[in-house]
Structure 1
Amino acid sequence: CLALHLLVWHLAPPTVPLDPGHQITSSAFFSSARLILASIVIIPFALKTFFPYLWMDFLYFGDLLRILVRFVSRRRRIPLFFALDRFFEQTAAHPDRPFIVFENESYSYTYTDKRSNQIANALRSHPGYEAGGTVALFMGNEPAFMFTWLALAKLGSPVVLLNHNIRTKSLLHCFNCCKANVLIYLIIVPSPELKQAVEDVLPSLLEQGVTVLLMTTHCSTAGLESFSVKVDEASQAPVPPSFRSHITFKSPAVYIYTSGTTGLPKAAVINQNHLLKTMAVLSSNGVMSSDVIYVNLPLCHTAGFMIGFIGSVETGSTIILKRKFSASQFWDDCRKHNVTVVQYIGEIMRYLCNTPKRENDRDHKVRLAIGNGIRAEVWKEFLNRFGNIQVREFYASTEGNVGFVNYAGKIGAIGRVNFLYRKLFPYMLIKYDTKRDEPIRDANGLCVESPKGETGLLVSKITDIAPFLGYSHNEEQTEKKRIRNVLRKGDLYFNSGDLMRIDKDNFIYFQDRIGDTFRWKGENVATTEVSDILTMSDCLKEANVYGVQVPGNEGRVGMAAVTVKQGAQFDGHKIYKHVVSYLPSYARPRFIRIQTAVELTATFKQMKVKLVEEGFDPGRMQDPVYILDDNEKSYILLTTQVYSSIISGNLKL
């Protein structure tokens, strides 16, 4: 419009009287107008050239401001407002909207509310339960997982989310470290594997006076109580608010297990305040009530529970729930249910890209994929093959106090950093000595900040806005995640355990993990735990566990350099049976290297760097290397032919 107006003035130049005795010609006016027009054109061009992400930054800060205002508003409500209350609001607003769709069954918000009331009322009358007591859930991805969590939230009980892949020692450890007094164990379709897992630890649980409830109509195992009939017969009446009147923002809501850096799994404390904050993850990424969200990640983990489940409670969306991820069913499910938003981890994206190409690969309604861990080359391939899907890569950890979002869509980055965000959540990258496994400090004992473009350890200041709540009943491991005297004497930061790099455009990239943890199949594997399990066997004396890279695979696959006890021999069949009994599939070492002695550092720490560099190539080492073979149910000798098959991708791990 401005250009057209100026064109008219140019074609028919009038004179414009200003005041008596003064006139300005159209040419003078047009010169001024051209200057204005040039500014209008040049300024956006200059901003686009020198500040290409400025508009995205403004939009992102607008989202942050909106989230902050909503959060503060909820914090000021009387009575106190929690995640459960948002579910009540959605149920009142959309009573008949499908909340969960699972295996061709649809459950509305109203049904979910009433079913959770039945579970809560059945628990209230059960002699093994005390209102407000901590309860452990040992469940897979089922609607009853969500029904039961809502029921316990209505009763004011913190909930321990147990990974249904853990067994024996790890299962007992996870249960005990949160002091749970009720274990609700669910089998919708009876699973002999899960039933066996509970029976293996049942004597220990019964010795502690633990009540074990099984959601089936009949159970013949002594010590396990059938619970489904009681739930079906229970009232659908709402649970009185008085049962949760003791809850504050600092009260624990859930305990989610993380491998962290060392040792057995640790229960990260997620309080009500933190749960209320994380509800906004989906909505801050543009997810609305009309969206249909595909949740195939485990509900016992942070992404599945806090983003998929609780995030959908915030938005009022419909959840398409899967027992587990299936690459072959993924897009068919999305088409069948008109899915618009999907969750992912890096492995999922790679699996999808590895499926055979089909003519209808782009025939879907998915517009947004949100998750973490996707590699740049997989990201590009995913977009080229499956269409213009917005990928929102983010960085966060279960117990951490800082996170990043790649709202600009820069392929390969985990987020974008800026001055204002750093003021709200003070963080920095510090120089780290990977060989000595410790931060580099100056002459004053303070940490040294990594220059832009160089890799450093991500640490984040612990503040009231960004607290670190630590691990339940594990002060030793909590303290290991704290790092002191970073910028000045006496300050306190959270040690993320992750090495990062920030480029010249302020995008941040994940580089690697430090310490005794690696990631495989989307799970954190704590090397100390695996090492402890291996040395419990009859023939192994020492075990140095680490992760090695395999071409074409995300993360690192588990490997152990071990020594054999004097007078014993390595028995592949016994070791296989041992690790299968004690470790989930993702944590079982795929390779075992037999050494005469485990190398130690000067400070008597196990040497890992050299072992990691040597990998699992039998041609590079004189030590014999064995590979886990599920068909043989044993560890068998790794040959050069098998190694070549793995490297070429013909043999999948």
Structure 2
Amino acid sequence: MYVIFTLLAGLAILPFLVYVRFPYFLHDLRYILNGIALGKRVGKYSSRKPCYTILDRFLERVNLHPHKSFIIFENDTYSYQDADRRSNKVARTLSQHCKLQEGDAVALFLGNDPVYVWIWLGLAKLGCVPALINHNIRAKSLLHCFSCCGAKVLIAAAELKDAVVEVLPALREQKVSVFLLSKECDTEGIEAITEKIEKASDEPIPPALKSNLTIKSPAVYIYTSGTTGLPKAAVVNHERMWLASFMQTLAGVRADDIIYVYLPLYHTAGFLMGLTGAIDQGITVVLRRKFSASQFWNDCRKHNVTVIQYIGEIMRYLCNTPKKDNDRTHKVRLAIGNGIRVDTWSEFLQRFGNIHICECYGATEGNTGFVNYVGKVGATGRVLSLQKRFQPFALIKYDTERGEPVRDSRGLCVEVPTGEAGLLVAKITKRAPFIGYANNNQQTEKKRLRDVLEKGDLYFNSGDLLRMDEEGFIYFQDRIGDTFRWKGENVATTEVTDVLVILDFIEEANVYGVKVPGHEGRIGMASLKITEGMEFNSTATYDHLKAYLPSYARPRFIRIQSSIVVTGTYKQMKVKLAEEGFDPSVIDEVMYILEEGKGYIPMTKDIYTAISEGSMRL
């Protein structure tokens, strides 16, 4: 009897002992099983002739629940069947007027709108490859993006006509067909197409038009944000489209969820993780033209949103809105995204309630990624030994001054110890390929790194610095270009930013390195947006930075701006600011320079001259 009692007692406390020893066991097990199931799905889809695509998944959803709400936009609701029929009209119109064939690229220059979805679906039914161009770019950048994808057709929104007209001579020279989503257009070289779409038949499109598709065929071109130069067109094939769409499954999205998509559809997060992920799940999408912090929670309440997305500074913008009694009155249970700071993470949960934040890491063109399915505050993912075996990666030492990885006497890269930040590189294999950028072999080659851990191996260079702790959680530290080196020390701009925004009179900070004549490396500079109704306190700023940062990491220059410029995906723009530097003749905004022992004093032309001539050393 004693033996039986002991055995039962042992079994009773076994779960507790497992939890103590392996606190994330159930989370890990669920993630592994999901990963295996999703891997089998991709294998099954790739074996079909033609391959099974997101479009096929959409058509299944149409047959399964034709009248279920698919897109909710402003005051209109469109069912899955509505979307199918409208996209049939688009496909027939484009096929007739553009003579499009399977594999042709078509550039989309549109803002968030249901028509965006109809056009994408219509092109998919023709086997064409849409190039999703950022609707905020103009002139040289617009032409560059158009040339990248090799498209001979451009479809633009009516409100973007002026931007198209600006580059129309170059487009006509390239014999590009330009269509405007409008009922009329009197500009020669641009054809209005809305009326033609409305009059077209909505009968199903023959599937034979896309009969040659494979899992490796291009599905869409998505452009990098261009924070460090002109955007590049990342080639996203059908396999990668599936993998990105699976993010909702890994995060725990259910068939009865409603997702709020306000991020731009030209971006990976909005299009793949949001829209196509929703199609995979068969759920409803609440689509908005653009993010609005003041209307965010009202939209969530109005449409019973249960899943939200975020990227970059979005969560902090929400935390900065005036507090209301109904901040926790909503049905949102899950947030998926990347780029949330630790302090914002905690503040967001405390203010808006028990929302599971699923932070993830990945690049549109990258061949690896991480998911923080546990919800550990601050981490961008969790690494399991199984994942590293199937998708090998390493964190290697990086010399920010020379702009290249550190190599040993054998010419191989050096892995950083646990807890130390290193450059993330992922091995390029058949299972984890790196496709690169459309019509840009030079930029594609720049992302390839050879002889990393063994002679002859090949890795993808992420350009990001990450660190991993002893539990296997991985943390984003900085972009390579966002890390500057001063006085022989590497400084992460995110670390300086986190310290600056603690001050209540600093609403937002953008930290970067600037070159100084006669000095090696780059010195720190911060562009600040001051909280409304408050003023910049130079003394308090100096005392605060002195208490929290070593001397080499303290911004030597401060620039006060009315707003911090961000990209369409809410990433801070640093390149232009770094190029402008701290020259008062170039910058007409208020600037300060740090004078050790005194604090921040106004920057003047005389001080700039002294620095430039070398009579004043920094």
Shorter-chain TM-score range: 0.7 to 0.9
Q: Please give the alpha-carbon distance, in whole angstroms, between the structure 2 residues aligned to 1:329 and 1:615.
A: 25
Q: Cα deviation per residue 1:542-565 (whole Å; 9 max; x = unaligned)?
A: xxxx99848338996387969xxx
Q: Does 1:636 align with 2:588?
A: yes
Q: Please give the alpha-carbon distance, in whole angstroms, between the structure 1 residues aligned to 2:276 and 2:587.
A: 42
Q: Does 1:345 align with 2:311?
A: yes
In structure 1, which of residues 102, 113, 117 is the aligned counterpart of residue 73 of structure 2? 102
Change in CA separation of 1:46 and 1:622 when aligned onto 2, cut-off 3 Å: closer
In structure 2, which of residues 385, 390, 403 is the aligned counterpart of residue 424 of structure 1? 390
Q: Please give the alpha-carbon distance, in whole angstroms, between the structure 1 residues aligned to 2:555 and 2:404.
A: 29
Q: Does 1:151 align with 2:122?
A: yes
* Other structure's SS at 2:236 match: strand
Change in CA separation of 1:438 and 1:79 when aligned onto 2, cut-off 3 Å: closer
Moved more, 125-134 or 293-302: 125-134
Equivalent position amino acid for 2:382 in 1: R
Question: Could you tell me the TM-score, scaled by structure 2's length?
Answer: 0.82
* Other structure's SS at 2:424 match: strand
CA contact (8 A) 1:120 1:155 kept: yes
Q: Cα deviation per residue 1:366-406 (whole Å; 9 max; x = unaligned)?
A: 11110011111111111111111111011111000111111
CA contact (8 A) 2:525 2:555 kept: no
How far 1:113 sits from its partner (Å)? 0.4
Q: Please give the alpha-carbon distance, in whole angstroms, between the structure 2 residues aligned to 1:502 and 1:356.
A: 36
Equivalent position amino acid for 2:403 in 1: D
Q: Cα deviation per residue 1:297-356 (whole Å; 9 max; x = unaligned)?
A: 010000000011100110000000000000111111001000010011131110111111
CA contact (8 A) 1:202 1:223 kept: yes
1:400 is aligned to: 366
In structure 2, which of residues 34, 38, 54 is the aligned counterpart of residue 63 of structure 1? 34
How far 1:612 sits from its partner (Å)? 4.6
CA contact (8 A) 1:343 1:369 kept: yes
CA contact (8 A) 1:415 1:509 kept: yes
Equivalent position amino acid for 2:186 in 1: S
How far 1:625 sits from its partner (Å)? 6.4
Moved more, 240-249 or 331-340: 240-249
Q: Please give the alpha-carbon distance, in whole angstroms, between the structure 2 residues aligned to 1:109 and 1:180.
A: 29
How far 1:246 sits from its partner (Å)? 2.4
Change in CA separation of 1:384 and 1:433 when aligned onto 2, cut-off 3 Å: same
CA contact (8 A) 2:427 2:458 kept: yes
Alignment of 1:508-519 (within 5 A): 508-515=474-481
Q: Please give the alpha-carbon distance, in whole angstroms, between the structure 2 residues aligned to 1:154 and 1:77.
A: 17
Q: Please give the alpha-carbon distance, in whole angstroms, between the structure 1 residues aligned to 2:527 and 2:171.
A: 43
1:169 is aligned to: 140
Q: Please give the alpha-carbon distance, in whole angstroms, between the structure 2 residues aligned to 1:473 and 1:425.
A: 27
1:570 is aligned to: none
* Other structure's SS at 2:97 match: coil
1:476 is aligned to: 442
Change in CA separation of 1:635 and 1:104 when aligned onto 2, cut-off 3 Å: farther
How far 1:628 sits from its partner (Å)? 7.2
Question: Could you tell me the TM-score, scaled by structure 1's length?
Answer: 0.78
Whose radius of gyration is greater, 1 or 2?
1
Q: Please give the alpha-carbon distance, in whole angstroms, between the structure 2 residues aligned to 1:622 and 1:278.
A: 41
Q: Please give the alpha-carbon distance, in whole angstroms, between the structure 2 residues aligned to 1:483 and 1:270.
A: 21
* Other structure's SS at 2:430 match: coil
In structure 1, which of residues 83, 92, 96 is the aligned counterpart of residue 63 of structure 2? 92
Structure 2 gap segments, 5+ residues each: 485-492, 530-535, 543-553, 565-585, 594-598, 601-618
Q: Please give the alpha-carbon distance, in whole angstroms, between the structure 1 residues aligned to 2:527 and 2:199.
A: 61
* Percent of pairs with identical residues: 52
Equivalent position amino acid for 2:276 in 1: I
How far 1:75 sits from its partner (Å)? 2.3
Moved more, 227-236 or 75-84: 75-84
Alignment of 1:259-408 (within 5 A): 259=225, 262-408=228-374
How far 1:79 sits from its partner (Å)? 4.2
Q: Does 1:236 align with 2:202?
A: yes
How far 1:261 sits from its partner (Å)? 7.9
* Other structure's SS at 2:291 match: coil
Q: Does 1:122 align with 2:93?
A: yes
Change in CA separation of 1:261 and 1:628 when aligned onto 2, cut-off 3 Å: closer
* Other structure's SS at 2:360 match: strand
2:547 is aligned to: none
Equivalent position amino acid for 1:85 in 2: D
Equivalent position amino acid for 1:637 in 2: E
1:542 is aligned to: none
How far 1:441 sits from its partner (Å)? 1.1
How far 1:627 sits from its partner (Å)? 5.2
Change in CA separation of 1:335 and 1:399 when aligned onto 2, cut-off 3 Å: same
Q: Please give the alpha-carbon distance, in whole angstroms, between the structure 2 residues aligned to 1:78 and 1:375.
A: 45
Equivalent position amino acid for 1:176 in 2: S
* Other structure's SS at 1:70 match: helix
Q: Please give the alpha-carbon distance, in whole angstroms, between the structure 2 residues aligned to 1:133 and 1:156.
A: 8
Change in CA separation of 1:369 and 1:458 when aligned onto 2, cut-off 3 Å: same
Q: Please give the alpha-carbon distance, in whole angstroms, between the structure 2 residues aligned to 1:434 and 1:337.
A: 47
Q: Cα deviation per residue 1:220-263 (whole Å; 9 max; x = unaligned)?
A: 22221110010011111111122111222221111111147853
Aligned Cα root-mean-square deviation (Å): 3.0
Matched residues, number: 541
* Other structure's SS at 2:481 match: coil
CA contact (8 A) 2:482 2:512 kept: no
Change in CA separation of 1:241 and 1:349 when aligned onto 2, cut-off 3 Å: same
Equivalent position amino acid for 1:33 in 2: I
In structure 2, which of residues 23, 29, 32 is the aligned counterpart of residue 52 of structure 1? 23
CA contact (8 A) 2:307 2:332 kept: yes
* Other structure's SS at 1:515 match: helix
Q: Please give the alpha-carbon distance, in whole angstroms, between the structure 2 residues aligned to 1:37 and 1:231.
A: 71
2:417 is aligned to: 451
How far 1:290 sits from its partner (Å)? 1.2
